[in-house]
Amino acid sequence: METSDILKKVRKIEIKSRGLSNQIFSGQYHSAFKGRGMAFSEVREYQYGDDIRNIDWNVTARFNHPYIKIFDEERELTVTLLIDVSGSNEFGSRQWLKEEMMTEIAAVLAFSAIQNNDKVGVIFFSDKVEKFIPPKKGLSHILRIIRELIDFKPESQKTNISEALRFLTNAMKKRCTAFLISDFMDSGFEDALRIAGNKHDLAALHIIDERDLSIPDMGLVRMYSKEANKAIWVDTSSRAVRNDYAAYAESRMKMLELAFRKSGVDVARFRTGQDYVKPLLGLFKARESRR
């Protein structure tokens, strides 16, 4: 892509993303994620209606009366975007490719973060960490991230979510708010997800295309997998083939749901060709309601 085309695209995404973060997301983002960026300062006696999760059990045992921790909100958070750049994201049966939807969602999150004076960093991953942009503040930093999102060319087409999560766990020494943005065409990452979710405030953003879930009757079709780097002929006119594909997709979705639930990681699902505002707001509001 020519530099002038990249700049035009960056500008277009900047205008749309800043508008959404200004009008819709900044307040919701702040109230949804500020609770994990808190510093313990003192204790006081428990009062009716206090969050029992904030009880200081050591002080309570010492005085034989419940006490809760008082927190001061830290002035800033660190936000880390883990973005899947593997080959399966260069697909979309609707208006958008998965990677285009990921780019806009990541841009909105980045602008929401800097409006709250937060630092933003990015981990691009395939089956390895392709690039790490350390967290910083400022508009120029966000524009650099958007440009990388648009024009980044990964070395590998495969996916290893565990590798990205292990890098997050090791690279980010202090607790951060992290968004894992992927189509989750992978398996065996449950342990890494649980460990990263325990250390950091992690949310999963699952990007789905309708063809990930089912295939229509299109006759004999040549299907190509960028991740596997091979093509196969599939007889989609066969009901058995279509049913097997749908059954496999359903079992994979159940596996993912179980992995997220066991690890305690919040998840929002986004479908290509549909508006991403509603599920993103839904994630923020669900988190806010639990505060």
68, containing H or E segment:
strand 67-73
CA 244 remoteness from chain centre: 29
Together in a domain, 131 and 202: yes
Per-residue model confidence (pLDDT) at position 227 = 59
Together in a domain, 254 and 282: yes
Q: What is the per-residue pLDDT across 158-204, written as a single tens digit (0 to 9) for each? A: 899 999 999 999 999 888 999 999 999 898 999 999 999 999 999 99
Candidates 122, 125, 153; CA nearest to 136 is: 122
Check which CATH number belongs to the domain holding 20 and give it: 3.40.50.410
Q: Give the up-direction half-sphere exposure of residue 139: CA atoms within 13 A in the CB hemisphere.
A: 6
Together in a domain, 238 and 127: yes
Q: Which two tokens stand for residue 290?
A: 């639990």
Length of the chain: 291
Question: Other CB atoms closer than 10 Å to residue 125's CB: what's the count?
Answer: 28
Residue 289 has pLDDT above 80, yes or no: no
Per-residue model confidence (pLDDT) at position 73 = 52
Whole-structure pTM value: 0.79
**What angle separates helix 239-263 from helix 190-199, to the nearest 10 degrees?**
30
72, containing H or E segment:
strand 67-73
Q: What is the per-residue pLDDT across 201-258, written as a single tens digit (0 to 9) for each? A: 999 999 998 888 778 778 787 775 665 667 778 877 888 888 888 888 888 899 999 9
Together in a domain, 209 and 65: no
Per-residue model confidence (pLDDT) at position 181 = 97
Together in a domain, 62 and 188: no
Residue 92 has pLDDT above 70, yes or no: no
CA 71 remoteness from chain centre: 27
Q: What is the per-residue pLDDT across 26-73, written as a single tens digit (0 to 9) for each? A: 667 767 776 444 555 677 888 877 778 888 888 889 888 898 877 655
Per-residue model confidence (pLDDT) at position 287 = 79
Together in a domain, 204 and 120: yes
Per-residue model confidence (pLDDT) at position 3 = 66
Together in a domain, 65 and 196: no
**What angle separates helix 98-115 from helix 139-151, to the nearest 10 degrees?**
170
**Domain count of the chain?**
2
136, containing H or E segment:
strand 129-136
Amino acid letter, residue 69: K
Per the structure, the complete domain to which residue 265 belongs is given by: 3-32+74-289
SS3 content of the chain, % helix, strand, coil (to 5): 50, 25, 25
Together in a domain, 10 and 139: yes
Give backbone dihedrals phi and psi of 104, rounded to 5 degrees, phi first.
Answer: -70, -40
Together in a domain, 136 and 259: yes
Together in a domain, 194 and 54: no
Print the SS3 string covering 96-132: CCHHHHHHHHHHHHHHHHHHCCCEEEEEEECCCEEEE
Q: Is residue 137 within 8 Å of residue 118, measured between CB atoms?
A: yes
Together in a domain, 69 and 79: no
Place of tokens 């930093």: 141
User: What's the burial of 244, exposed, middle or buried (CB within 10 Å: 0-12/13-18/19+)?
Assistant: exposed
Together in a domain, 62 and 184: no
